[in-house]
């Protein structure tokens, strides 16, 4: 329920700023970097940025719990882990608004019901399309799946490059960051955790 309230709060906050005001802000930034916002190549850039930002940050308007509402009970007693590997992640860091590009791996152990496979990737998408830290993103995905699916266990791993680190600052182009978060049986039973880690490393 907290996530729904957060989404509603974010929507109300966003409505206080009009698209025209946002465009004017982008015009000021273009001027600030030393460019002419009226020249041919930049004249429509503020409008394009509005459109792009709507896509980059559409996760604020989506509720991941609704995505996971429909589950299936006809699994004939299946009770081992379900793993989805190599889910693409495109997000933006909250410190510099620089892209975070990588992959996520998800596993869950069903209690009595499973969810459609595409829904796992959609949950990753919802949380990725917000300003993020990788640590929080990993935890949000895991906790949402655990609660919404009443799962026996959830594991989430993300391996991503942060362009705030590769393009600026220390500029280490090959560096990636790996985060893991384990809940339920994945946290309590290392045999599950080790199997999961072996599967995603193949």
Query: pTM of the full predicted structure?
Result: 0.89
Strands 99-109 vs 114-115: parallel, antiparallel or unpaired: unpaired
Tell whether 43 and 131 lie within a shared domain: no
Tell whether 182 and 142 lie within a shared domain: yes
Q: What angle do CA 24, 25, 29 make, to 5 degrees?
A: 115
Return the active site residues: 93-96, 134, 162, 164
Tell whether 177 and 123 lie within a shared domain: yes
Low-confidence ranges of the chain (pLDDT < 50): 1
Report pLDDT digits (tens) over 17-75.
999 999 999 999 999 999 999 999 999 999 999 999 999 999 999 999 999 999 998 78
Token pair of 162 as six digits? 């942060």
Measured torsion, CA atoms of residues 94, 97, 100, 105, in degrees rounded to the nearest 10: 40
Residue 76 inside a domain? The answer is: yes
The per-residue pLDDT for 8 is 52
Specify the number of domains making up the chain.
2
The per-residue pLDDT for 23 is 97
The per-residue pLDDT for 5 is 55
The per-residue pLDDT for 62 is 96
The per-residue pLDDT for 30 is 98
The per-residue pLDDT for 9 is 57
Residue 65 inside a domain? The answer is: no
Tell whether 77 and 50 lie within a shared domain: no
Query: 147, exposed or middle or buried, with CB in 10 Å at 0-12, 13-18, 19+?
Result: middle
The CA R_g of the chain, rounded to the nearest whole Å, is: 20
Tell whether 125 and 181 lie within a shared domain: yes
| Structural domain of 123 | 72-201
Tell whether 76 and 52 lie within a shared domain: no
**What order of strands is seen across the sheet that includes strand 82-93?**
131-132, 82-93, 99-109, 153-162, 177-184
In this structure, what DSSP letter does residue 111 have? S
């Amino acid at each position: 329920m907290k996530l729904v309230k957060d989404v509603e709060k974010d929507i109300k906050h966003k409505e206080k700023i009009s698209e025209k005001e946002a465009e004017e802000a982008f015009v000021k930034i273009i001027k600030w970097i030393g460019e002419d916002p009226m020249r041919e190549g930049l004249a429509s850039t503020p409008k394009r940025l509005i459109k792009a930002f709507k896509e980059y940050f559409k996760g604020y308007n989506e509720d991941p719990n609704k995505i996971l509402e429909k589950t299936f009970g006809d699994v004939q007693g299946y009770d081992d882990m379900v793993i989805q590997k190599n889910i693409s992640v495109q997000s933006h860091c909250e410190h510099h608004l620089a892209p975070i590009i990588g992959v996520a791996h998800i596993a869950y152990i069903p209690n009595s019901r499973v969810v459609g496979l595409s829904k796992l990737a959609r949950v990753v998408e919802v949380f990725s399309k917000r300003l993020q830290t990788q640590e929080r993103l990993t935890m949000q995905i895991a906790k949402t799946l655990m609660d919404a699916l009443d799962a026996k266990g959830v594991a989430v791993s993300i391996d991503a490059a942060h362009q705030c680190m590769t393009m600026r600052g220390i500029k280490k182009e090959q560096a990636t960051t790996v985060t893991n978060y384990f809940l339920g049986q994945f946290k309590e039973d290392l045999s599950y955790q080790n199997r999961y880690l072996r599967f995603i490393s193949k």
